[in-house]
Structure 1
Amino acid sequence: MVRAGLTVERVTIAGAELADEVGLDRVTMSQVARRLGVKDASLYTHVRGLEDLRGRIALLAADEKTMRIAEATAGRAGRDALVAFADAWREYAHEHPGRYAATQTPMEIDPELAAQAPGPRRAVELTYGMLRGYGLAEPDLTDAVRLLRSTFHGFVALEAAGGFAHARSPQRSWVRTLDALHTLLEHWPPSREGDSA
C-alpha cells in the first residue's frame, strides 16, 4: 500500500472525485481508501470519518464553485452579471454533480474548518453584490437570493434527474428563465407593510 504523500487535501479530493463519479451518498471510506491505495485505517489520520469527509468535500466544492462564479462575473453588471453567474453555477453542477450535491446538503461541518474556508462567505458576497446592481436592499436582497438559489438549484436538479422530457431544449428554457429573472429583478415588487423581518 502506498502511503507517501497522503494528506487531508488528497483524501478530500479523492472523495470529491468519487462523489462526482458515483454520487455523494454512495461514497464510503473504504472506496476512498481503495482509490488512494491505502488501508481504511490510514484515512482516519487525516479525517475523522465519513461525515467529516463530506463536510470537507462541501467546503472544497463551495470554494471551487465560488471561484468559477467570481471569474465569470468579474467586471459585469445587470443582466450580463446575472447570466454569467447562473451559467457558471449550472456548468459547475453539470461537471461536478457529487461536489455540487455536497454544497446543497445541510451537514455538520467543524466550525473551525468552516471559518477557514472562504467559499461560502465569498458566495454570499458575490450574490448580494450582483443583486445590489438591481437596486435591491434588505429584506428584498434576502428574498431575491432565495429566489435565485431556488430557481438555479431546481433547474439543475430537474435537469440532472431527466425531468425535462419535453422536446424543447432545456438550454432554450434556461435562457428564457434568466430573461424572466432579469425582468423580475428590474421590477421587483415593493415590500409589504410590516415586511422588514
Structure 2
Amino acid sequence: MTVHAPASGDDDDASASSSISDVVFNVLEGYGLLGDDAVDATRFLRSSLHGFVDLETRGAFELPVDLERSFARLTESVVVALDTWSR
C-alpha cells in the first residue's frame, strides 16, 4: 500500500515520508496485516515510538529505572501486539 504524504511544499520531505510509509507497510505485510489493519497498526506503531521518544527528549522519564530496559519492553510489546493483531 502506498500512502501519499500531505503536501508540505517540500518535495524531499514528501519523498522521504512516502519511502518510510512503504517500508512500514512492507514490514506489516510480513505480519499478515493489509488494508485497514495495516493503517491501524501503523498508527499504533508510530504513536508508541513517537510517544516514548517525545517523552524521553522532554525529560519526562525521571524514575530511576533504566530507559533502555523500558524501551526494550515497549518494542517487545509492539512485536507481540503485531503478532496477534488479527485475533
Using structure 1 for the length normalisation, give the TM-score: 0.39
- Could you tell me whether the CA contact under 8 Å between 2:24 and 2:42 is conserved in 1? yes
Gaps of 5+ in 2: 1-5
Residue 3 of structure 2 corresponds to none
Alpha-carbon distance in 2 for matches of 1:116, 1:181: 27
1:140 to 18, 37, 40: 37
Q: Alignment RMSD, CA only?
A: 2.1
Alpha-carbon distance in 2 for matches of 1:187, 1:155: 22
Q: How many residues align?
A: 82
- Could you tell me whether the CA contact under 8 Å between 2:8 and 2:14 is conserved in 1? no
- Could you tell me whether the CA contact under 8 Å between 2:25 and 2:38 is conserved in 1? yes
Residue 109 of structure 1 corresponds to 8
Identity of aligned residues (%): 32
Q: Which runs of 4+ in 1 moved over 3 A?
A: none
Q: Secondary structure at the match of 2:35?
A: coil
Higher relative contact order (CA 8 A, sep 6+): 2
1:71-126 per-position Cα deviation (integer Å, ceiling 9, x unaligned) = xxxxxxxxxxxxxxxxxxxxxxxxxxxxxxxxxxxx9722xx43785211101100
Using structure 2 for the length normalisation, give the TM-score: 0.83
Alpha-carbon distance in 2 for matches of 1:138, 1:128: 9
Gaps of 5+ in 1: 1-106, 191-197
